[in-house]
Amino acid sequence: GESVGLHLPTLSVQEGDNSIINCAYSNSASDYFIWYKQESGKGPQFIIDIRSNMDKRQGQRVTVLLNKTVKHLSLQIAATQPGDSAVYFCAEIPNRDDKIIFGKGTRLHILP
């Protein structure tokens, strides 16, 4: 598969532990946020989203936390599995904009 980013920050986590991936977003006018997962050789895949009127949203094994005061977003993955190994991107959508602003991504590496 392609190299998504040779200089991406990397998070190494033991299999079975929880993972926390952080993201600082740039635009205080952004009111909608998305996390994507990109596996090697594939396109980004939607994981979970959150609107700015919420500070927490839970999915299956994933939780997104939003702190608007410091413009910070995090993705928590419970009981990390080998299949979670990927690059994770946060994305923000400014209010009334057609376009998404993507972060550069974090590579999650699972240790056996």
Residue 98 CB contacts under 8 Å (≥ 6 apart), including other chains: none
Number of residues that bind another protein (CB under 8 A): 26
Taking CB under 8 A as the binding criterion, the range among 13-21, 40-48, 60-68, 70-78 that sits at the site for another protein is 40-48
Taking CB under 8 A as the binding criterion, the range among 19-27, 56-64, 65-73, 101-109 that sits at the site for another protein is 101-109
Q: Which one, of 30, 33, 54, 47, lies nearest residue 88 by Cα?
A: 47
105 forms part of the interface with another protein (CB under 8 A): yes
Residue 35 or 110: the one with the smaller Cβ distance to another protein is 35
Angstrom distances, CA of residue 48 to CA of 18, 32, 73, 94? 17, 11, 12, 17
User: In the complex, what is the shortest distance from the CB of residue 65 to another protein, in angstroms, rounded to a whole number?
Assistant: 19
Widest distance between CA atoms in the chain: 44
- The dihedral over CA atoms of 20, 24, 28, 33, expressed in degrees to the nearest 10, equals -40
Binding residue for another protein, selected from 19, 23, 44, 66, defined by CB under 8 A: 44
Binding residue for another protein, selected from 25, 77, 103, 106, defined by CB under 8 A: 103
